[in-house]
């Protein structure tokens, strides 16, 4: 029987099994099936997926993200904050500012300490990508897909598509409690116009610097929070003239709040908490 030590962490309820590959080993061919198994609430540990904290040749540490269906994503905002907390508290890094490599590039992390422990993390998520081919989304041309008519499952929606290293589509609703998460989420996620699938976000604007947010995540379904999704929602809202650039925006997710700022230099800053739940050993 094979085994590895893990730490379960969450960021606003978006919970993953974190494995420190500086010390542990999981064979590459086992990664997808192990992610599915550990995520199972009945027969595994129960999580939105599995995140690997790996040595990096480009940054201080490297993050790899697996959704609970075993698919690998190129980025994860909540995962980045937890990886930053883990890396700092396990002495994988020595400073309060460092870099994390992802499959979509290098990001800059700053940990915020309370009693020598990391309670919040700011990640410079880099620049959003807006071109249809960068999202990727088929059927559109030009520099961006902002407030475009899209029909899904017989319903016409107005959507804005944004890549934060992973694909997102944002729809605005009048009442977040009535967002069609469970009905439209899975339909939009698998629509062939998104050749790599898509994370689906519903947003209710409260005022110029505050919004409610719910998400159907690609590969994981409904989660309590999505960091890249919250960044995409803020970028979308600036593009739709609903919020302003360079202004911190509070995003109220099901699991709590994130502060997101789309800076004048085009970089998106995300600030929010990261929490350890437990440590353990998983057998497979």
Ligand X SMILES: N[C@@H](CCC[C@H](N)C(=O)O)C(=O)O
Indicate if the alpha-carbon torsion angle 69, 71, 74, 79 is positive or negative. positive
Interface with ligand X (CB under 6 A), residue from 76, 137, 161, 162: 76
Residue span binding ligand X (CB under 6 A) among the ranges 31-39, 71-79, 113-121, 236-244:
71-79
Interatomic CA distance for residues 69 and 89, integer angstroms: 29
Interface with ligand X (CB under 6 A), residue from 44, 59, 77, 159: 77
Q: Dihedral of the CA atoms 280, 281, 283, 284 (nearest 10)?
A: 80
Is 77 annotated to bind a ligand? Reply is yes
To ligand X, the closest distance from the beta carbon of 151 in angstroms equals 23
To ligand X, the closest distance from the beta carbon of 153 in angstroms equals 21
The residues facing 200 across adjacent strands are: 169, 216
Interatomic CA distance for residues 263 and 245, integer angstroms: 6
Q: Dihedral of the CA atoms 265, 130, 232, 54 (nearest 10)?
A: -80
Interface with ligand X (CB under 6 A), residue from 47, 166, 236, 243: 166
Interatomic CA distance for residues 199 and 230, integer angstroms: 11
Annotated catalytic residue 54: no
Tell me which of 76, 82, 231, 278 is the catalytic residue.
Answer: 76
Sequence-distant (6+) residues with CB within 8 A of 83 are 18, 51, 53, 61, 63, 100, 109
Residue span binding ligand X (CB under 6 A) among the ranges 140-148, 181-189, 206-214, 217-225:
217-225
Interatomic CA distance for residues 94 and 87, integer angstroms: 9
Query: With binding defined as CB under 6 A, does residue 217 bind ligand X?
Result: yes
Pattern of binders to ligand X over 222-261, x per CB under 6 A? -x--xxxx--------------------------------
Catalytic residue numbers, as ranges = 76, 226
- Binding residues for substrate are 14, 67, 77-78, 166, 199, 217-218, 227-228
Residues of this chain that interact with ligand X (CB under 6 A) are 14, 65, 67, 73, 76-79, 166, 199, 217-220, 223, 226-229
């Amino acid at each position: 029987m094979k085994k590895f030590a893990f730490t379960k962490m969450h960021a606003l309820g978006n919970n993953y099994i974190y494995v420190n590959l500086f010390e542990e080993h999981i064979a590459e061919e086992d990664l997808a099936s192990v992610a599915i198994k550990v995520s199972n609430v009945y027969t595994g540990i129960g999580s939105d997926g599995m995140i690997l904290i790996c040595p990096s040749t480009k940054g201080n540490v490297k993050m790899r993200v697996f959704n609970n269906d075993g698919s690998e994503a190129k980025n994860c905002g909540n995962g980045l904050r937890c990886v930053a907390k883990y890396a700092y508290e396990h002495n994988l890094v020595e400073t309060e500012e460092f870099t994390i490599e992802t499959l979509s590039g290098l990001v800059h992390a700053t940990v915020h300490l309370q009693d020598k422990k990391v309670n919040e993390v700011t990640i410079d998520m880099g620049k959003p990508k807006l071109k249809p081919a960068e999202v990727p989304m088929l059927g559109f041309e030009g520099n961006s897909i902002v407030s475009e008519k899209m029909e899904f499952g017989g319903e016409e929606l107005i959507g804005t598509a944004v890549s934060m290293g992973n694909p997102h589509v944002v729809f605005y609703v009048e009442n977040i409690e009535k967002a069609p998460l469970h009905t439209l989420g899975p339909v939009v996620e698998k629509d062939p116009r998104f050749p790599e699938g898509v994370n689906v976000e519903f947003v209710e604007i409260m005022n110029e610097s505050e919004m409610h947010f719910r998400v159907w995540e690609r590969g994981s379904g409904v989660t309590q929070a999505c960091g890249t999704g919250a960044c995409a929602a803020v970028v979308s809202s600036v593009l739709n003239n609903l919020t302003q650039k360079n202004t911190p925006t509070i995003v109220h997710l099901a699991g709590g709040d994130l502060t997101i700022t789309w800076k004048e230099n085009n970089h998106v800053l995300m600030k929010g908490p990261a929490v350890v739940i437990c440590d353990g050993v998983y057998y497979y």
